[in-house]
Amino acid sequence: MGDERRREDRIPTHEKVEVRFASWDTLRLVYMIDISLGGMSISMARKPDLAPNEDVTVRLMMPDLTTFELEGTVRYVKELSATEQAHKPSPTPFRVGVALKPLTPEQKQQLERILESRPR
């Protein structure tokens, strides 16, 4: 789960995203904590029934309010300590790290637009 493996800097954010994990029948509305061209961290209130290498689909909203989907793979599921929760933008106890699958040129362009709209 180390940052040393990331190729892109993560940009902090705190917004709702829709997520569909392969093992779930329905979409879940959760908070995305950070995002880059290579992946994202998702905050969850309950421990998800997930394992590394599980597929996920994330639906993001563009600045113009249109949506698009990205495919990824779960890299880790972590329970935060009370101290860690107190120092996070979304004080929920679980984090899920997602590595994005290769992006199409259109997906990359859309994601770059989202990243450019976020303060660094």
Domains of the chain, by residue range, sit at: 3-115
- 26 pLDDT tier (thresholds 50, 70, 90): low
Tell me the pTM.
Answer: 0.79
**pLDDT for 99 beyond 90:** yes
**pLDDT for 45 beyond 80:** yes
Angle made by CA atoms 85, 37, 40, in degrees to the nearest 5: 20
| C-alpha separations of 68 from 47, 57, 65, 103, 106 in Å | 26, 10, 10, 12, 10
pLDDT in tens, 28-42: 778 888 889 999 998
Give domain 3-115's CATH superfamily.
Answer: predicted glycosyltransferase like domains (2.40.10.220)
- 8 pLDDT tier (thresholds 50, 70, 90): confident
| C-alpha separations of 16 from 13, 53, 63 in Å | 10, 23, 13
**pLDDT for 17 beyond 70:** yes
